[in-house]
Amino acid sequence: MISAAAVTAGFEYPRSPLHAAVSDSVVRRVLIGICMGLTAVAIIYSPWGKQSGAHLNPAVTLTFYRLGKIEGGDAAWYVLAQSAGGFVGLWMAGIALGPILGHPAVNYVVTVPGEAGLAAAFLAETAISFGLMLTVLFLSNHRTFAPVTGLAAGGLVAVYIGIEAPLSGMSMNPARTLASAIPADLWTAFWLYVTAPMGGMLLAAECFLRTKGPGQVYCAKLDHHGRARCIFRCRYGELPGRGAGRLRSAEP
């Protein structure tokens, strides 16, 4: 949320040098997407991301709970931490940016439906959430492609902001929308940003299970390389593939 606020203010605040340097709104949106994609990649591969699994998103956590990879109590704490982290992050950004964060061009980086309306926003949020989760599941459960799961997720975030943001603001994340809605006091279609990401990701989970079969989700971490302890119902060491026995899976 700190990154989202800072990057959006940098490109969209009318008095910002970046705003003056990039006059085309589409180009600015693409650049914002690239910055946010890189932020996601940095978090996923950071020591903290490796420790926690780098979910950042209640919809991701609850989908892995549905898949049997997370204990119920752990899932509840993850959702609480994600929601609190989003709020605190935006609060810290507000301290740094001051009134700029509340300027109409930035408006606490709220996510609201675009001019195409509620139905388009709902379908778009569902589709991008479905695409992200399906990508994560297929890559993270494949021995060869698991290491690039975070890169793919960050790439999708960048593409989604560049393309989908005019339809819904590109949330995919109930905690992210909540963090902006509270200080902005703007709750337009808040239900959409809870139900559509959850629905899209749960649908992706069902498609993965029907395609790959039960028992094919090995862990809930987005990046399992490194020595960080894994708290999930982890079977990463059983992931089929060449050299599987040599890769370390931390004890749950």
Residues 6+ apart with CB under 8 A from 212: 141
The model's pTM = 0.92
* pLDDT for residue 249: 42
* pLDDT for residue 226: 78
* pLDDT for residue 242: 45
Does domain 2-237 bear CATH number 1.20.1080.10?
A: yes
Q: CA angle, 62 as apex, 174 and 234 as ends, to 5°? A: 140
- Residue 183, exposed/middle/buried by CB under 10 A (0-12, 13-18, 19+)? middle
* pLDDT for residue 248: 43
Q: pLDDT means per 10 residues in the chain (252 residues)?
A: 98 97 97 98 95 95 96 97 97 97 97 97 98 97 94 98 97 97 96 98 97 91 87 90 46 38
* pLDDT for residue 251: 39
Q: How far apart are CA 167 and CA 158, in angstroms?
A: 15
* pLDDT for residue 229: 87
* pLDDT for residue 28: 98
Residue type at 148 in one-letter notation: V
Q: How far apart are CA 60 and CA 164, in angstroms?
A: 19
